[in-house]
Amino acid sequence: MVILGGVVLLGATVSGALYGCPQYSVYSSRMSGEATLAEAQSSRMAKVAEAKARFESAQYDAKAEVARAQGTRDANNIVISSFGSTEERLRYLQIEAMKDGMKEGTVIYVPTEGGLPILGGAKK
């Protein structure tokens, strides 16, 4: 009787294993597929978030560049109005550049009456 009980128990165990292996394989494959899908979705969301951050950063950089350009324009308008004309401002800048060039020993370009520069430089 004990032998018969052991054989029945062994048969039930083997039957359960034979039934359970294919079921576990299907379950395992499904879980693996779901994990792969979740990883792909997470990766896509991270890329979208990164692209949005780059877009917002570019927008702020553009706004900052516009603000700098407007500030430069306003400053130039103030300086030009204090000189009376753009030509006088450019003449002043030319004189300042010549002064700086003479200190550093750099080449100075000086326009003449004919509009052609005289090329030369300070010697060290």
Query: Looking at the predicted structure, is the pLDDT value of residue 107 above 90?
Result: no
Query: Looking at the predicted structure, is the pLDDT value of residue 27 above 70?
Result: yes
Would you say residue 102 lies in a domain?
Answer: yes
Would you say residue 106 lies in a domain?
Answer: yes
| pLDDT value of position 31 | 84
Task: Tell me how many domains the chain contains.
Answer: 1
Question: Which residues make Cβ contacts (< 8 Å) with residue 98, sequence separation at least 6?
Answer: 108, 110
Query: Looking at the predicted structure, is the pLDDT value of residue 18 above 90?
Result: no
Instruction: Measure Cα distances from 116 to 102, 110, 111, 119 in Å.
Output: 20, 8, 6, 9
Q: Which residue has the higher pLDDT, 37 or 23?
A: 37
Q: Which residue has the higher pLDDT, 35 or 12?
A: 35
| pLDDT value of position 41 | 93
Q: Determine the structural domain holding residue 107 and report its residue range.
A: 85-124
Query: Looking at the predicted structure, is the pLDDT value of residue 99 above 90?
Result: no
| pLDDT value of position 106 | 63
Can you tell me the distance from the alpha carbon of 94 to that of 106, in angstroms, rounded to the nearest whole number? Answer: 14
Q: pLDDT band at 28, cuts 50/70/90? A: confident
Can you tell me the distance from the alpha carbon of 49 to that of 43, in angstroms, rounded to the nearest whole number? Answer: 10
Contact of 89 with 102, CB cutoff 8 Å: no
Buried b (16+ CB within 10 A) or exposed e, 102-118: eeeeeebeeeeeeeeee
Show the beta-strand stretches assigned E in the chain: 107-111, 117-121
Query: Looking at the predicted structure, is the pLDDT value of residue 62 above 90?
Result: yes
Q: Which residue has the higher pLDDT, 120 or 9?
A: 9
Can you tell me the distance from the alpha carbon of 39 to that of 49, in angstroms, rounded to the nearest whole number? Answer: 15
Can you tell me the distance from the alpha carbon of 51 to that of 31, in angstroms, rounded to the nearest whole number? Answer: 30
Would you say residue 2 lies in a domain?
Answer: no
Would you say residue 118 lies in a domain?
Answer: yes
